[in-house]
Amino acid sequence: MVHRLSQVSPTWLAVWSMIALLAGLVGAAHAAEIKLVVPADLATAEGASSAAWPPVVRAQYIYAANQFAALPGGGGYLTSIRWRPDGATIGDPPDWSVDELTITASVTAQAPETMSMEFADNITGPATIVRATAPWQGGTQNLGPAGGPKAFDIDFVLDTPFRYNPAEGNLLLEFAAQGMDGTPTLQDRLAADDQSRAALIVGWTDLNSPTALARVGSMAMELAIVSLPGDYNEDFIVDALDYDTWKIAFGSTVVAYAGADGNGDGIVNAADYTVWRNHFGGSIANGGESIAIPEPAALVLAMIAVVLIPARRRQT
Ligand SMILES: [Ca+2]
Ligand SMILES: [Ca+2]
Ligand SMILES: [Ca+2]
């Protein structure tokens, strides 16, 4: 027996809507924030020491994609960056500030070992301004054992999340800062001749036409990354718009986990619909905290309420 929509009562529509919602909630696996250290081997080991920062500085950092093995397939959204002080630093906890700090992120085809000394040459893909130009103030409490490794407490909160998928290339971060006040602490990093998995170039004096003066081992950074499978249109929430993106892209071949390839097999197919459905409702708006899933008893009450309210309205 087939019902036309006009023959289905509002009550039954409400019931079916609730069943659909229930099915979505049962399968839901929401966003999760992962903190990882790059280069990965510095997570538990003290590195070398950085040089002192000049008052005006532009720096690019490349981290090889293989340093992100701790991420689930497809990576996720970068939401914050933290540095840590060099473990050998002794003295009062320093604080410093800059009048202007801008941070950008992109995926680069450049490798750390062959990173160009020209800033522009390292930008091989679309760059996202993850921290718009604004003053910054920070410092460190030098927490952690004498000699390091110290806690990552030099904090850069980003105002725009950046989607990083290691399958697409290496991660390029760029910091541009000027108007420094105070004395920056030295940071922990790889040794200058250790550029196999991360490297940095640094230039100063003029932000607009900087000349890189050195390419050396890069800094230890703790990155907060929010995994959000199913967010195919990259607007930081898994909702109906992602279904549209999936439908339009259906059948296309892409880089693993790019676009609407939720399961990472390189083709937009039915399995990616399942990934979307299972993560429906996830978002990074709450920093990756799990969204509370109603208890079964509360869901039953909600279903009863939805079913009864239209019925009572018809009676009055
Ligand atoms: Ca160090
Ligand atoms: Ca989305
Ligand atoms: Ca797929």
Which range of residues forms the domain containing residue 242?
A: 5-30+229-315
Ligand nearest to the CA of 242: 2
Residues 120 and 191 in one domain: yes
Q: Which of 226, 259, 285 is the last residue of a domain?
A: 226
**Measured in angstroms, how far is the CA atom of residue 289 from the centroid of ligand 3?**
26
**Measured in angstroms, how far is the CA atom of residue 58 from the centroid of ligand 1?**
21
Residues 135 and 209 in one domain: yes
- CB distance 139 to 96 below 8 Å: yes
DSSP codes joined into one string, 89-142: --SSPPEEEEEEEEEEEEEES--GGG--SSGGGG--S--EEEEEEEEEEEE---
Residues 168 and 94 in one domain: yes
Per-residue pLDDT of the chain (316 residues; tens, 9 = 90+): 444 444 445 454 444 444 444 444 444 455 688 999 999 999 999 999 988 777 889 999 999 999 999 999 999 999 999 999 999 876 666 778 999 999 999 999 999 999 999 999 999 999 999 999 999 998 888 899 999 999 999 999 999 999 999 999 999 999 999 998 887 788 999 999 999 999 999 987 778 777 788 899 999 999 999 999 999 999 999 999 999 999 999 999 999 999 999 999 999 999 999 999 999 999 987 554 434 444 444 444 444 444 444 444 554 4
Residues 206 and 239 in one domain: no
Residues 101 and 222 in one domain: yes
Residues 132 and 39 in one domain: yes
Residues 286 and 235 in one domain: yes
Classify 149 as helix, strand or coil.
coil
Q: What is the pTM of this model?
A: 0.81
**Measured in angstroms, how far is the CA atom of residue 147 from the centroid of ligand 1?**
8
Confidence (pLDDT) at 23? 45
Ligand nearest to the CA of 230: 2
Residues 38 and 159 in one domain: yes
Residues 74 and 106 in one domain: yes
Ligand nearest to the CA of 229: 2
Residues 137 and 181 in one domain: yes
φ and ψ of 64, to 5 deg: -65, 145
What CATH number is given to the structural domain containing 266?
1.10.1330.10
Ligand nearest to the CA of 232: 2
Angle at 107 between CA 231 and CA 149, to 5 degrees: 95
Number of domains in the chain: 2
Q: Which of 166, 198, 226 is the last residue of a domain?
A: 226
Residues 215 and 87 in one domain: yes
**Measured in angstroms, how far is the CA atom of residue 148 from the centroid of ligand 3?**
43
Residues 24 and 147 in one domain: no
Confidence (pLDDT) at 35? 96
What CATH number is given to the structural domain containing 141?
2.60.120
Report d(CA 45, CA 41) in Å as an integer.
Answer: 7
Q: Cβ neighbours of residue 108 under 8 Å, at least 6 residues apart?
A: 62, 122, 123, 124, 125, 169, 170, 171, 172
Strand 212-217 to 198-204 pairing: antiparallel
Q: Which of 181, 197, 226 is the last residue of a domain?
A: 226
Confidence (pLDDT) at 210? 74
Report d(CA 46, CA 44) in Å as an integer.
Answer: 7
**Measured in angstroms, how far is the CA atom of residue 47 from the centroid of ligand 1?**
4
